[in-house]
Amino acid sequence: MEESIIKVEHLSHRYSIQWAIRDINFEITRNGIYGLLGSNGAGKSTTMNIMCGVLKQTEGEVYIKGINLRENPVEAKKHLGFLPQKPPLHMDLTVEEYLVHCANMRLIPTHEVQGAVKDVMGRCGISHFSRRLIRNLSGGYQQRLGIAQAIIHNPDFVVLDEPTNGLDPNQIMEIRELIREIAVDRTVILSTHILSEVQATCDYIRMIEEGQVVFSGTMDEFDNYIVPNTLFVSLIATPPVEEIREIPGVVAVEELGGSKFRIQFSDALEATERLVETSVTKGWRLVEIRQEKSSLDEIFAELSKK
């Protein structure tokens, strides 16, 4: 049986009389990048802050590498790294001074501090800025430094809150690649509102709505949560819509222009086979036929209703 990296049991929290999350349960046993999704006010941030020991829960337990976070916070946090949405940087320190400070806070033995700082600067691509004041770094390099402080003690579990927020496209690509490298030998939870970010970066999804987990699975399972019921068809000829609609298995036809059609079906296999046969018989000269996928926005909206 695989050892839990993080385990959340019956987690609930309320602010005054309002429950933000209620009886949340999940377990992560393998490395990779996990997307933590949820609408504003869904309970995502509350869950994340409890997992990082920033907020004390009303009910339930969080275990990191089998250690109860509430009962043994110092020991549990040795296995945890956290990058808040706004990196906790000291702008008047140099990059190296700041990382030495972080290493000391993480209780890294004194004789290992310089080695840990040098290693994490290399991993995050900021060695050449070691003596630069943090205030003089670009947004992308400040974000790299924020990630460096989260992993300087080689934690098993890293939580990144909106790590690409406010970055330009090139910086976003660089941070995504850095996150993938980090996730090779540890578990990363990535909290973001940007669905394209999830699609580009994550292997697994955990989605919270109205204080409860509404989806837990792989990125492929999330992509296919809504079974698509349309085909995209491209032809050289332009047949009358009525002729396409009469094909067995076809429910509705939408003209997309340029001899392209979106066809809703009742049975994908039957509709595809009959379309191919009819195209050959009537000389429509089929160029492309493929089953369309639901967009992430549609899937997110559907799960948000649960």
**Lowest mean pLDDT: which of 110-114, 147-151, 255-259?**
255-259
pLDDT of residue 296: 64
Q: What is the DSSP letter of 130?
A: T
Can you tell me the mean pLDDT for 190-216? Answer: 86
User: Is residue 251 located within the same domain as residue 205?
Assistant: no
Contact 38, 226 (CB under 8 A): no
pLDDT of residue 271: 86
Position 294 pLDDT exceeds 70: no
Task: List, for residues 15-47, the tens digit of each pLDDT value.
Answer: 988 899 999 999 998 889 999 988 778 888 899
User: Is residue 146 located within the same domain as residue 46?
Assistant: yes
User: Is residue 129 located within the same domain as residue 161?
Assistant: yes
- CATH number of the CATH domain containing 27: 3.40.50.300
User: Is residue 40 located within the same domain as residue 90?
Assistant: yes
**How big is the CA angle at 37 (ends 154 and 83), to the nearest 5 degrees?**
30
User: Is residue 169 located within the same domain as residue 278?
Assistant: no
Between CA 282 and CA 237 the distance in angstroms is 10
Pick from 278, 240, 247, 281: nearest CA to 265: 247
Q: What is the DSSP letter of 52?
A: T
Domain termination site, one of 203, 223, 243: 223
Can you tell me the mean pLDDT for 200-210? Answer: 89
Between CA 53 and CA 64 the distance in angstroms is 11
Between CA 249 and CA 274 the distance in angstroms is 8
Between CA 189 and CA 206 the distance in angstroms is 9
Q: Domain containing 128: what range?
A: 6-223
Domain termination site, one of 223, 239, 265: 223
Contact 67, 3 (CB under 8 A): no
> Could you give the 3-state DSSP secondary structure of residue 158?
strand
User: Is residue 143 located within the same domain as residue 256?
Assistant: no
For residue 29, is it within any domain? Answer: yes
For residue 192, is it within any domain? Answer: yes
Cβ neighbours for 205, distance < 8 A, ≥ 6 positions apart: 34, 35, 37, 198, 215, 216, 217, 218, 219, 221, 222
**Lowest mean pLDDT: which of 39-53, 132-146, 288-302?**
288-302
User: Is residue 16 located within the same domain as residue 141?
Assistant: yes
**Structural domains of the chain, count:** 2
For residue 153, is it within any domain? Answer: yes
> Both tokens of residue 271?
């509709």
For residue 198, is it within any domain? Answer: yes
Give CA separation, 244 vs 3, 250, 268, 270, in Å. 55, 8, 15, 13
Can you tell me the mean pLDDT for 77-91? Answer: 92
For residue 110, is it within any domain? Answer: yes
For residue 249, is it within any domain? Answer: yes
For residue 301, is it within any domain? Answer: no
Domain termination site, one of 223, 242, 266: 223
Position 214 pLDDT exceeds 70: yes
pTM, 2 dp: 0.75
User: Is residue 57 located within the same domain as residue 159?
Assistant: yes
User: Is residue 109 located within the same domain as residue 254?
Assistant: no
- CATH number of the CATH domain containing 268: 3.30.70
Contact 147, 190 (CB under 8 A): no
Between CA 163 and CA 170 the distance in angstroms is 14
Between CA 116 and CA 148 the distance in angstroms is 10
Task: List, for residues 257-289, the tens digit of each pLDDT value.
Answer: 888 998 888 887 888 899 999 999 999 999 998
Contacts 24+ apart (CB under 8 A), 293-301: 293/223, 293/224, 293/228, 294/223, 294/224, 294/225, 294/226, 294/228, 296/195, 296/196, 296/198, 296/199, 296/222, 296/223, 297/195, 298/226, 299/222, 299/223, 299/225, 299/226, 300/37, 300/195, 300/207
User: Is residue 179 located within the same domain as residue 253?
Assistant: no
For residue 45, is it within any domain? Answer: yes
Contact 69, 97 (CB under 8 A): no
User: Is residue 173 located within the same domain as residue 237?
Assistant: no
As a whole-number percent, the residues of the chain with pLDDT over 70 amount to 94
User: Is residue 24 located within the same domain as residue 163?
Assistant: yes
Contact 202, 190 (CB under 8 A): yes
